[in-house]
Structure 1
Amino acid sequence: MVRPLGGANAAPGRLGNPVGGPPLLELQAVRRRYGGGETPAVEVLRGVSLRIARGEFVAIVGASGSGKSTLMNILGCLDRPSEGCYRFAGHEIGTLDADALAWLRREAFGFVFQQYHLIATLDVLHNVEVPAVYAGYPEAARHERARALLARLGLEDRLGHRPQQLSGGQQQRVSIARALMNGGRIILADEPTGALDSRSGSEVMALLRELSAAGHTVILITHDRQIASQAARVIEISDGVVISDSARADAPTLPSVHDDASGSDTLDAQAKPDPADDDFAAELARGVARRISPLTELREALHMAGRVLLANRFRTVLTLLGIIIGVASVIVMLAVGNGTRAEVMAQISTFGAKRLYVLPGAEDRGSPGGTLSEADVAAVATVPNVAIAMPFYAGHATLRVGHVDTDTAIWAVTADAPAVLSWPVMQGAFFSAADDDRLATVAVLGTHIAAKLFGRVDPLGQYVLIDDVPFQVIGILASKGATSGQANDDDVIMVPARTGSRRLFGKADLSWISVLIRSVERADETVAEIGAVLERVHHRRDFRVYNQAAAVEAEGAAQRTLTMTLGLIAAISLVVGGIGVMNIMLVTVKERTREIGIRMACGARQRDVLRQFLTEAILLSAAGGLAGIAAGLLTGGALLLLDVNLIFSVRAILAAFTCALATGLVFGYMPARQAARLDPIAALAGP
């Protein structure tokens, strides 16, 4: 015995057909035209008027092209009349918008199509649940009701089967269960037996008859007069005009599809009651505004996206590849840029980010030249932000050790050089202020020049001839390496300032003054103060001050710009990936046009369809973004093994992933909007 579900036996609503009350469905002089403009107008319905009471079993019969399917589409709120009036329970339908019509389809109608119109990617259980999803029913309640309906129809052992695994009769029973999922006040059956054999067709007709007996309004569309004769009322239509309307009190009562020898099994699911007249507007407003819970929406979107991705694995992988490459490129490019910037800034900082240089000669080449002396060093040292002011003599000399000689840079500096130049001694010691005072002939070598002159021999304590003057090597400087495209910075020899001035260069004029400042933030102010002090001493501005800190900052800004440029170049691949997402979503919309029509017939609003496809695009981009992060980190790890300097940034990784999501949102919107705006009738007839 088939048992009703909870709530299925509710009493009929007040919109039945009380004496003098409005009929359930009423058409007055309805016309429907297609075409116009550049294409010829075709009038399919030509002033159809009819009334259908609640609980009637009506057959609309006519030849192909007579307009019966168009009439069904208007009755089921899938289409609108071009002219005339359509009322549901006395309420004008022509004034309702698309979302209100979707609510009415979801709450009042259940569709049974000739071609079944089941969603191929869903199993039987989830196909039946589709209307309840858009009605916002909890998942547990949906499952319980769908299982009970399918059990009534003899499909309890087919819940996990896909439509293509069922016979035609079984598929049609699934579509009937779906039509009943939300109550199915009105069952619209369009040629429900047309694709079935005689036995399956008889079973479907028995089900429709039982639904009518249980209180459902059943409207059967058929071209077969024998099928139509089983209804209690037959309306014949020809060339868009009703030519006959006859009621039959002696319509046969067909046996149930589940009849056994005793004939005790019946399909006794009663129709959900119609909204009362005074509640219709309020219930309509509540129904249109009702939203699916975010958790339910996310779950449904994840399920559908997973099915779509798995159904088109190869195409999905190609689409994901664009997002993966884009995200990985952004992560790796920014890591390389950050690593390069850090390396360059570290090398530049070895010259001292807190360093200024005072150079002889005016900035204006037309002005007379000037010189710098040790007295100027003392004057510069009086500026408050100056930590050390060091005289600097620079030149070139020929060095000789045994039979090896070479020409190299020679710097004559004070004992403050390691601090001012940020260049410590790696081996031995630096000369002292006492060595400078007594004009000691001692020297400190850069690693490169030490290797040239001494090879593998320890240089400490050895002598070097500098322009035939012997200097004892007392220290080896730490290696700096070649930087800024110039000569190797380790190819240098340093000697005490006064020793170099008097015994090597033979002059008192300084090459420049190296200045170490205390605060970089006051660098510009210190430059101005040094200029003012020296201008008072020289009585003219025959010198210039070079701000190393500003140069370091400028170089840092240039490196940041370069890093951002690399990131933007990599982001282009993200845009390409986004275009790929848009393309696959456009193809998906085209391939799933009929599915969209089915969902709309089941009560999906435009925003439901928009949200579904937009969620799929975002989920696709999110999957690509996560895979891209993994690919970027793996690529970076491989580069680190190759000694490439990389610095990964959590901010860059999050930004790349966010951009991937934004790409899915932006490029997925147009296909989703296109899907949401499809006409239900055109969608149902889609590919």
Structure 2
Amino acid sequence: MPDAETPTVAPLIELHDIVKRFTQGEITVEVLHGISLSIWAGEFVAIMGASGSGKTTLMNIIGCMDRPSAGRYLLAGRDVAELDADALAQLRRSTFGFIFQRYNLLSNATALENVEVPAIYAGLPAAARRERAKALLTRLGLGERLDYPPSRLSGGQQQRVSIARALMNGGRVILADEPTGALDTASGKEVMALLHELHREGHTVVVITHDPNVAREAQRIIRIQDGRIVEDSGPAPEAVEGRVPTLPLAEPPREGHAVLMLDVAASVRTALRALQANPLRTLLTLLGVMIGVGSVVAMLAFGNGARQKVLDQIQAMGTNLLVVRPGAPGVRYVGSTITTLVVADAEAIARLPNVEHVVPQSTSAVTVRAGNITYTTSLTATSPEYTLANAWPVAVGTFFTQTHVQGYAPVAVLGQTTAQALFGTANPIGRYVLINNTPLRIIGVLTPKGADMMGNDRDDMVFVPLTTGQARITGQTWLRFITVEVRDTALMAATQAAIEQLLLKRHRTLDFQVRNMTALLEQQAETQQTLTLLLGAVALISLVVGGIGVMNIMLVSVTERTREIGVRMAVGARAFHILLQFVTEALVVCTVGGLIGVAGGLIVIAVAAWLGTAVLITVPPILLAFTSALATGLVFGYLPAKRAASLDPVVALSTE
């Protein structure tokens, strides 16, 4: 055999005075004490030693899973110390294939998917990696168990899946840590036969074992004891002389842009399986997001509905109106009727510029009788311009005229609610009602108007000429308010000021108030907008609470899946890949919860609308709620994902 110190071929792996120390608190333990070792391409090496001798630590350093505390490690002539974490991950992905004693398969993935994992991080397209994984499993006798999860495979079959995974990206160097330790004798022999077959094909095989029988199957045995090499049988002559056969395997997949991004479908599939693993916990996690999103959708729909209802009511009254009411602004009157407005005030206002119509109104509660039916409603004594100023047309018959007013005519016009209460579906035109012992002939019925801003039914009303109401029915000489319709809304502020000056001159004191319906519209719009935003903020708070729940569950998931993270790093996942995987899982949780929440919110809205509640569904609130759910997943999923990505692969793999 040629002298190992002067080979004709450079070693693939060179270790020079490797030292490894572990620090726990203030205690530092040195596990490897100056290991120097060379392994040539194509060798079959067994590193043998008792438990605690440092052989697994040595394997982790060789496989770039761990870094030495001191010394120099050259891989194919390149100093590994010069490589950053991503470059080390690339080495593990493209050069090394790990076979573990405990298999370290992903429990919620099939055999085929377990084998595909290294190629995902190498950027191999889905179809290509699937075909390669099928070919490897078929070659290893598992062609009929591609879709079996690890729980349905025997120990020997799981180890074959592990071997196929090690070969997925080429596996130039196979690192097998006690590959037969958890197997029965027959399965152990099958695994060793596979390793011999891989060696014959050109793979460099390094087996870590404490079993002398396994070690004897290697070409070269290196004994390690207490962190030092105590025996090395030396490399095989063909390795030193460069007679290693070329690997017949396909070239490892080239890394492209996909290396920086996980396969989306694979990530989502992993996330959904993680959710299925614990249904109750998943439901509780989704519940917070569902309630938050549903609340945002429903609350904003209710707020927008209420806002739109109020605005419609104000607009239905007319935005070119000024309303004059008795009483000083800001003064609350209790126990007496304010009688400062009179008909003469309305007549004076009508003579002002830019005034189209002036509608004096006197209202009171009355009891109406029609035949044997008695009904309590509201009486409005007003002028013929009432329907014009309030944009309230007559449905049947006609409204009273100025002639009726001048003649104190005993006529009345009914609102829809009052007409139905007194006459049902019969036509009331020409029939009589009795109010305070005054018979009135029905000459018209107004179209439906609906409720006002206070929720009062405006159709529950009887209208009579102002003179008739004051002289024949109520005896009132004062007015409850005066409605003024202006011609040019651009001059509304000037008209309002003119009315205020006129009434102040007539009354000699400020005992009235003038309200601008346009200003009221803007004020109500602002108020309702504030209310809607408040409701939305409350709903968003519940979504944030749901996001905190997602973060807690993701932190638990990271703890439970620490070993899985180690496995993914061992097969070539970068820290970025792990970060992206767990962020994706958080986004999937929030996406599923968001979709269910949107559906739930729409159902609540539909039920509320069916019950008569004012709602307004628009696309922006739904998009806002769903986007907020995704943002919640991104924000609250980042911390657990960052924690997962920062794990040390060796520590993660050793976690129980």
TM tier relative to shorter chain = 0.7 to 0.9
Matched with 2:258 is 291
Matched with 1:14 is none
Deviations 1:86-134 (A, max 9, x none): 2222222223222111011111111111112222222222222221111
The answer to whether the aligner puts 1:546 opposite 2:533 as a matched pair is: no
Matched with 1:94 is 81
Shift of residue 74, structure 1, vs aligned partner: 0.8
Identify the match of residue 96 of structure 2 among 102, 109, 123: 109
Bigger drift between 71-80 and 197-206 goes to 197-206
Shift of residue 24, structure 1, vs aligned partner: 2.1
The answer to whether the aligner puts 1:69 opposite 2:56 as a matched pair is: yes
Matched with 1:47 is 34
Matched with 1:420 is 389
Describe the shift of the 1:487–1:635 C-alpha distance in structure 2 as closer, same or farther (beyond 3 A).
closer
Pairwise CA RMSD? 4.0
Distance in structure 1 (CA, Å) of the matches to 2:85 and 2:380: 85
Give the AA of the match of 1:72: M
The percentage of counterpart residues that share the same residue type is 49
Q: Is the 8 A contact 1:121 1:162 kept in 2?
A: yes
Q: Is the 8 A contact 1:399 1:466 kept in 2?
A: yes
Give the AA of the match of 1:216: H
Shift of residue 531, structure 1, vs aligned partner: 4.1
Matched with 2:241 is none
Distance in structure 1 (CA, Å) of the matches to 2:493 and 2:72: 83
Shift of residue 652, structure 1, vs aligned partner: 2.3
Q: Is the 8 A contact 2:260 2:577 kept in 1?
A: no
Matched with 1:607 is 576
Distance in structure 2 (CA, Å) of the matches to 1:542 and 1:485: 24
Shift of residue 415, structure 1, vs aligned partner: 0.9
The answer to whether the aligner puts 1:311 opposite 2:274 as a matched pair is: no
Identify the match of residue 619 of structure 1 among 580, 588, 602: 588
Distance in structure 2 (CA, Å) of the matches to 1:547 and 1:320: 49
Matched with 2:557 is 588
Q: How does 1:385-424 map to 2 (within 5 A)?
A: 386-393=355-362, 410-424=379-393
Give the AA of the match of 2:213: Q
TM-score by length of 1: 0.80
Matched with 1:655 is 624
Identify the match of residue 599 of structure 2 among 630, 634, 637: 630
Matched with 2:194 is 207
Distance in structure 2 (CA, Å) of the matches to 1:407 and 1:218: 100
Describe the shift of the 1:191–1:496 C-alpha distance in structure 2 as closer, same or farther (beyond 3 A).
same
Q: How does 1:206-245 map to 2 (within 5 A)?
A: 206-245=193-232
Identify the match of residue 11 of structure 2 among 19, 23, 29: 23
TM-score by length of 2: 0.84
Give the AA of the match of 1:174: V
Distance in structure 1 (CA, Å) of the matches to 2:126 and 2:367: 90
Distance in structure 2 (CA, Å) of the matches to 1:454 and 1:129: 80
Give the AA of the match of 1:661: L
Shift of residue 685, structure 1, vs aligned partner: 1.8
Shift of residue 44, structure 1, vs aligned partner: 1.0
Q: How does 1:413-452 map to 2 (within 5 A)?
A: 413-446=382-415
Distance in structure 2 (CA, Å) of the matches to 1:200 and 1:406: 95
Give the AA of the match of 1:177: A
Describe the shift of the 1:475–1:46 C-alpha distance in structure 2 as closer, same or farther (beyond 3 A).
same
Bigger drift between 304-313 and 476-485 goes to 476-485
Distance in structure 2 (CA, Å) of the matches to 1:569 and 1:592: 35
Q: Is the 8 A contact 2:43 2:236 kept in 1?
A: no
Shift of residue 431, structure 1, vs aligned partner: 1.0
Q: Is the 8 A contact 1:109 1:186 kept in 2?
A: yes
Matched with 1:559 is 528
Deviations 1:565-594 (A, max 9, x none): 334434444334333333332333223222
Shift of residue 322, structure 1, vs aligned partner: 3.5
Describe the shift of the 1:376–1:539 C-alpha distance in structure 2 as closer, same or farther (beyond 3 A).
farther
Shift of residue 527, structure 1, vs aligned partner: 2.7
Give the AA of the match of 1:26: E
Bigger drift between 120-129 and 470-479 goes to 470-479
Q: Is the 8 A contact 1:172 1:192 kept in 2?
A: yes
Shift of residue 245, structure 1, vs aligned partner: 2.4
Distance in structure 1 (CA, Å) of the matches to 2:432 and 2:165: 101
Deviations 1:536-580 (A, max 9, x none): 888987754212332233334333333443344344443343333
Matched with 1:332 is 298
Matched with 2:22 is 34
Give secondary structure in 2 for the equivalent of 1:291.
Answer: helix
Q: Is the 8 A contact 1:578 1:663 kept in 2?
A: yes
Give secondary structure in 2 for the equivalent of 1:94.
Answer: helix
Bigger drift between 438-447 and 297-306 goes to 438-447
Give secondary structure in 1 for the equivalent of 2:52.
Answer: coil
Q: How does 1:474-553 map to 2 (within 5 A)?
A: 474-478=443-447, 483=452, 489=458, 492-498=461-467, 512-517=481-486, 523-524=492-493, 526-528=495-497, 530-531=499-500, 544-553=513-522
Distance in structure 1 (CA, Å) of the matches to 2:102 and 2:290: 40
Distance in structure 1 (CA, Å) of the matches to 2:248 and 2:233: 26
Give secondary structure in 2 for the equivalent of 1:160.
Answer: coil
Identify the match of residue 323 of structure 1 among 284, 289, 293: 289
Q: How does 1:175-214 map to 2 (within 5 A)?
A: 175-214=162-201
Q: Is the 8 A contact 1:523 1:549 kept in 2?
A: no
Deviations 1:290-329 (A, max 9, x none): 43486x7112113222333333334333433433333333
Give secondary structure in 1 for the equivalent of 2:106.
Answer: coil
Q: Is the 8 A contact 2:314 2:517 kept in 1?
A: no
Bigger drift between 111-120 and 168-177 goes to 168-177
Give the AA of the match of 1:111: F
Q: Is the 8 A contact 1:30 1:47 kept in 2?
A: yes
Structure 1: unaligned runs, 5 residues or longer: 1-16, 252-266, 275-282
Describe the shift of the 1:608–1:483 C-alpha distance in structure 2 as closer, same or farther (beyond 3 A).
same
Give the AA of the match of 2:387: P
Shift of residue 675, structure 1, vs aligned partner: 1.8
Give secondary structure in 2 for the equivalent of 1:189.
Answer: strand
Give secondary structure in 2 for the equivalent of 1:247.
Answer: coil
Q: How does 1:150-189 map to 2 (within 5 A)?
A: 150-189=137-176
Shift of residue 135, structure 1, vs aligned partner: 0.7
Give secondary structure in 2 for the equivalent of 1:603.
Answer: coil
Shift of residue 458, structure 1, vs aligned partner: 7.3
Distance in structure 1 (CA, Å) of the matches to 2:315 and 2:231: 98
Deviations 1:325-363 (A, max 9, x none): 333333333333444444444445554443212346665
Describe the shift of the 1:394–1:168 C-alpha distance in structure 2 as closer, same or farther (beyond 3 A).
closer
Matched with 2:335 is none
Give the AA of the match of 1:325: I
Q: Is the 8 A contact 1:439 1:496 kept in 2?
A: yes
Distance in structure 2 (CA, Å) of the matches to 1:349 and 1:25: 84
Describe the shift of the 1:55–1:646 C-alpha distance in structure 2 as closer, same or farther (beyond 3 A).
same
Structure 2: unaligned runs, 5 residues or longer: 239-244, 332-338
Shift of residue 404, structure 1, vs aligned partner: 9.7
Q: How many residues align?
A: 640
Q: Is the 8 A contact 1:441 1:472 kept in 2?
A: yes
Give the AA of the match of 1:612: Q
Matched with 1:128 is 115
Q: Is the 8 A contact 1:361 1:542 kept in 2?
A: yes
Identify the match of residue 81 of structure 1 among 68, 85, 100: 68
Q: Is the 8 A contact 2:20 2:32 kept in 1?
A: yes
